[in-house]
Amino acid sequence: MQSIILASKSPRRQELLHHITDDFEVIVSDADEVLPEGISPEEAPVYLSRIKARAVADSHPDRIIIGADTVVILDGKVLGKPRDKNDAIRMLRTLSDRIHTVVTGCSIIKGDRVRSFGDSTRVEFYPLTDREIEDYIASGEPFDKAGAYGIQGKGSLLVKGIEGDFFNVMGLPVGKLHRELKAFLSTEDN
């Protein structure tokens, strides 16, 4: 497989990309992550993954660039990363005893070629007590994660079940990305 650039500073994405290949480097995108007016919550992460990858691809036209973005959607609204402790409390109370959707958008770019896709996973939370929320926030884990939780860490204690790709909730749908990357490379060889 050709050398890849991952346009993401996320340590979780870096860890997950190792499942596909060890031949990659990280160059963090400096893209301005402004969404166009009227874009749906489900389309937003695909759009953002594309602009992140494009920002890096412009400086590296002969390399394969992978960009990704993950959002948590509840009641048609995106829950981003919490601004502070109170925002994390609000998000976790909102997610308590509910089912939400996690969408990760991915884009693969080389030169003028672009392949983008999204993957969705449904996540159900247990009913959470104020004490459980406070204990989780005290772990420090929620503050750099969409929806104020990380399923791969202590946030797993909040999750009753999932429907879809576990790794998608972590920020990179490994199986689907692997297949999309192989398809991208096979069309390049023709």
Q: Which residues contact 88 (CB under 8 A, 6 or more apart)?
A: 82, 137, 142, 143, 148
Residue 57: both structure tokens together: 């691809």
Three-state SS for 45?
helix
State the Cα–Cα distance between residues 83 and 11, nearest whole angstrom. 20
Catalytic residue among 30, 32, 58, 69: 69
Among candidate residues 164, 180, 83, the one with its CA nearest the CA of residue 151 = 164
Is 69 among the residues known to form the active site?
yes
As annotated, the active-site residues are 69
